[in-house]
Amino acid sequence: FLFSNSYSNRHDYDEWFYKVCNQCNSKIIIIPSKKRIEFTNLKYIRFWRHWKNELKKVVGAKKSYYYSAALLDAYVDFVNIIYLLNINKIKRVVTLCDCHTVDLMVTEYCNNNNIQTATLEHGYYREKEAFTLSESNYFLGYGENMKKMALHLGFPKQKFVIVGMPQLIDVTLPTVVKKNNNKVIGVILNGADLIDEDIWLIEVAKQFAHKNHYKVFVKQHPGYGSTYYPNGLFAGVDKVFLSNTSSFEFGKMVDFSILTSSTVFVQYLMYLLPVFVGKSVTHLYDSEEWCRFNDVSQLQEKMNGLYSKDLKYQSDMLGARLNYSEVNNVKDNYYRFFNSTL
């Protein structure tokens, strides 16, 4: 099992990655050192010079130093990982995501050396590259919605295996939507790539809060620190939770959350934590009309439905949950795959 440096800053992945690993009876777990400058790297300096000179022709002199250094780091990790695979006579490799540089290099090496490969779904993808660049023998996915998306993009049907969200291993899911009365609206941010949507979400939240006498809590994206967000973005927000705060704990403390393209939507579906989805350029959750809103008035309408006595919101949420992840046999699915399929 490979947890490469591509995700060294995503500590929110640690727990579920180990949950997955623990379903395999015989395994080694490879987590490369985060130390980036070592004297042993100097023996590869000729490669760095060559890469820098070639990259200079494409991205310019300044960027060529950054990219060539990153490539050197990846190559050193790759060499060390392959060494471990060979001395341990590994026949099966599972990556957290095979689209990043090191993971892809390892996957290609394994595919060319009769070592079976699999990669894990680690979120609800909005980038088609997660499938078009995947070269693993198997893709272990959450549920039917992601499988349909993959097949629509031409991903081979026989490579997609539905196992469920790894976070659900050893978890008993609720059957009733959690309803608080704390007068708090939560905002789940996307990060630097969708900053305009984050600005819009916070503005909608503040308008709603002003009208309904609520407080506004904001949850930063786990992959981005405060420096990624523009100055003044959090003006008028009652509390900002840093990137290392659990999305699950955040969802439990607010009355409901709003977001646009975050994978947290799927997590909240699983745990029946109230959530509403705003408009987005990614159109990731456009099919979920039961919880979508385009402005503060629609958000008000959807929120009223959450607290209505007909329980339609809960019924819709339970129905949607089944589309996004296998929920009944997640632990067994991973166990059978690792100990039988490969």
pLDDT of 198 over the 80 cut: yes
**Regarding beta strands 292-293 and 275-278, do their DSSP bridges make them parallel or antiparallel, or are they unpaired?**
parallel
Q: pLDDT above 90 covers what percent of the chain?
A: 64
Per-residue pLDDT, averaged over 289-295, amounts to 96
Distance CA 161, CA 330 (A): 12
3-state helix, strand, coil in the chain (%, to 5): 50, 10, 40
Which band of pLDDT confidence, cut at 50, 70 and 90, is reported for residue 77? confident
Which DSSP string corresponds to 68-96? HHHHHHHHHHHHHHHHHHHHTT--EEEES
Q: Is 114 helix (H, G, I), strand (E, B) or coil?
A: coil
Per-residue pLDDT, averaged over 54-79, amounts to 88
Higher local confidence (pLDDT), 174 or 41: 174
Q: Say if residues 122 and 16 touch (Cβ distance below 8 Å).
A: no
Taking every pair of Cα atoms in the chain, the longest distance, rounded to a whole number of angstroms, is 70
Angle between helices 61-87 and 101-111 (to 10 degrees): 40
Chain mean pLDDT for the chain:
90
Distance CA 102, CA 108 (A): 10
115 to each of 80, 318, 334, how far by Cα in Å?
17, 40, 19
pLDDT in tens, 296-332: 999 999 999 999 988 999 999 999 999 999 988 999 9
pLDDT on residue 4: 80
pLDDT of 41 over the 70 cut: no
Distance CA 265, CA 187 (A): 12
Q: In what order do the strands lie in the sheet with 275-278?
A: 239-241, 215-219, 184-188, 256-259, 275-278, 292-293
Which band of pLDDT confidence, cut at 50, 70 and 90, is reported for residue 33? low
pLDDT of 128 over the 80 cut: no
Per-residue pLDDT, averaged over 27-44, amounts to 68
pLDDT on residue 297: 96
pLDDT on residue 20: 95
Per-residue pLDDT, averaged over 141-145, amounts to 93
Q: Where are the alpha helices (DSSP H) in 3-120?
A: 14-21, 45-59, 61-87, 101-111
Q: pLDDT above 70 covers what percent of the chain?
A: 94
pTM equals 0.86
Q: Report the amino acid identity of residue 194.
A: L
Per-residue pLDDT, averaged over 195-212, amounts to 95
pLDDT in tens, 14-31: 889 999 999 999 999 988
Which band of pLDDT confidence, cut at 50, 70 and 90, is reported for residue 38? low
Per-residue pLDDT, averaged over 63-69, amounts to 88
Q: Say if residues 313 and 306 touch (Cβ distance below 8 Å).
A: yes
pLDDT of 226 over the 80 cut: no
Q: Say if residues 160 and 318 touch (Cβ distance below 8 Å).
A: no
pLDDT on residue 249: 94
Place of tokens 């009208």: 211
pLDDT on residue 7: 72
Q: Which residues pair with 120 in a beta bridge?
A: 140
pLDDT of 93 over the 90 cut: yes
Which band of pLDDT confidence, cut at 50, 70 and 90, is reported for residue 48? confident
Q: Report the amino acid identity of residue 126.
A: R
- The 8 Å CB, 24+ separation contacts for 144-153 are 144/322, 144/323, 145/323, 145/324, 146/121, 146/324, 149/125, 153/128
Which DSSP string corresponds to 138-151? EEEES-HHHHHHHH
pLDDT on residue 43: 76
Higher local confidence (pLDDT), 193 or 64: 64
pLDDT on residue 36: 52
Other CB atoms within 10 A of residue 15 CB? 12
